[in-house]
Amino acid sequence: MSTTYRQGTVAAVALPDVLPPLVRRGRTRTFLRRHPTIAAGGALIALMLAIAVFAPWLGTVDPTAIDPIHRLADPSARHWFGTDMLGRDVWSRTLYGARISLLVGFSVAFCAGAAGTLVGVAAGFIRVLDGVLMRIMDGLMSIPPILLAIALMALTRASVQNVIFAISVSEFPRVSRLVRGIVLSLREQPFVEAAVAAGTRLPRIILRHILPNTVAALLVQATYTCASAMITEAILSFIGAGTPPIIPSWGNIMAEGRALWEIKPYIVFFPAFFLSVTVLAVNLLGDGLRDALDPRLAKRL
């Protein structure tokens, strides 16, 4: 809302030819200043992404390299975060762990969003399917998400793809409910009725009129899905039902540090800190997006 108001003021000032480039940059800056949570969350996520991408060049060694002679070393100049039970460098493992967490978080947000949209639109438009689909979603949602993911992981071999699949299955029913609600309320809108009256075909109505109007809510939901997926991934790995132990994910590092945490607590606390900061960043971005995209919701929560 704030941006449209600003656009209006700019248009009223009768000097459009000189100003445009300046105004555009100013707008981004004002937007970020108005929504400090987006700026803070976005910056932290960018930092984590950079860490994940540039992990090999940030003073790391092979995160899986075993060095039993130097096992359980305290943090030092050589091993910034110390070493674990097998002498692996915790700093390297933690940085490489960012890759797994972000990969799982983003993939689940995407997969659950896509599947949820598909089911939600189908349920919203095809009356015959609505009842059946929503009962199935209710059933899936009545299994606590972490347990559902655990149950699915118990069936398959531990791998990153399977973790993404299991968490997506446990997250997408919520997205489908959200999308269905939006679709049902949009169908009553005059612009959709007008499109129907003008003879627009169903696929085009969905693509042109329905989907664009779900983007804002989906984007906000995607951030929450992403945050919860990263936590679920860590939990799965922590209890031994997630990514295979060879992969340095934050949950795995913590699971391995668990046995010794009373004498070497930092092995648990370093990845725990990174995980919390990443989840916090995604949540901040989500809160900020919600405030920016839906001012009505912002007041309520």
Partner 1 sequence: MLAYALRRILATIPVMLFVAFFVFSLLYLAPGDPAAIIAGDQATPAQIAAIRLNLGLDRPFLVRFGGWLWQVMHGNLGTSIFTSLPVSHMIAQRLEPTLSLMVLSTLIAITVAIPLGVLAAWKQGSWIDRLVMVLAVFGFSTPVFVVGYLLAYVFALKLGWLPVQGFHSLRHGFWPYLRTLILPSVALGLIYIALIARITRATMLEVLSQDYVRTARAKGVGNRAILFVHALKNAAVPITTVVGSGVALLIGGAVVTESVFAIPGLGRLTTDAILQRDYPVIQGVVLLFSFVYVVVNLIVDLLYTLFDPRIRY
Q: Is 283 in the site for partner 1 (CB under 8 A)?
A: yes
- Contact between 268 and partner 1 (CB under 8 A)? yes
Contact between 228 and 282 under an 8 Å Cβ cutoff? The reply is no
Closest distance between partner 1 and the C-beta of residue 200, in Å? 36
Q: To which residue do tokens 């700093």 refer?
A: 91
Among 47, 103, 114, 143, binds partner 1 (CB under 8 A): 143
26, 56, 59, 144: which one binds partner 1 (CB under 8 A): 144
Considering only residues 204 to 243 of the shown chain, the ones binding partner 1 according to CB under 8 A are 227, 231-232, 234-235, 238-241
Q: Which residue from 54, 62, 204, 261 is in contact with partner 1, where contact means CB under 8 A? A: 261
- Please identify, using beta-carbon distances, which residue of 12 and 301 lies nearer to partner 1: 301
Q: Is 151 in the site for partner 1 (CB under 8 A)?
A: yes
246 contributes a contact to partner 1 by CB under 8 A: no
As measured in angstroms, the least distance from the Cβ of 153 to partner 1 is: 7
Stretch of residues binding partner 1 (CB under 8 A), selected from 27-35, 70-78, 118-126, 154-162: 154-162
276 binds partner 1 (CB under 8 A): yes
**Which residue stretch of 11-19, 107-115, 139-147, 177-185 sits at the interface with partner 1 (rule: CB under 8 A)?**
139-147
One residue of 36, 139, 245, 295 binding partner 1 per CB under 8 A = 139
**What are the DSSP calls for the chain, one per residue?**
-HHHHHHHHHHHSS-TTTSHHHHHHHHHHHHHHH-HHHHHHHHHHHHHHHHHHTGGGSS---TT---GGGTTPPS-SSSTT-B-TT--BHHHHHHHHHHHHHHHHHHHHHHHHHHHHHHHHHHHH-HHHHHHHHHHHHHHHTS-HHHHHHHHHHHS---HHHHHHHHHHHHHHHHHHHHHHHHHHHHTSHHHHHHHHTT--HHHHIIIIIHHHHHHHHHHHHHHHHHHHHHHHHHHHHTTSSS-TTS--HHHHHHHHGGGTTT-HHHHHHHHHHHHHHHHHHHHHHHHHHHHH-HHHHHH-
Closest CA to 121 of 220, 213, 222, 221: 213
Per CB under 8 A, 295 contacts partner 1: no
Binding track over 95-134 against partner 1, x by CB under 8 A: ----------------------------------------
**Residue whose pair of structure tokens reads 């089911």 in the numeric block:** 119
| Binding residues for partner 1 (CB under 8 A) | 135-136, 138-140, 142-148, 150-156, 227, 231-232, 234-235, 238-241, 254, 258, 261-262, 265, 268-269, 272-273, 275-276, 279-280, 283-284, 287, 299-301
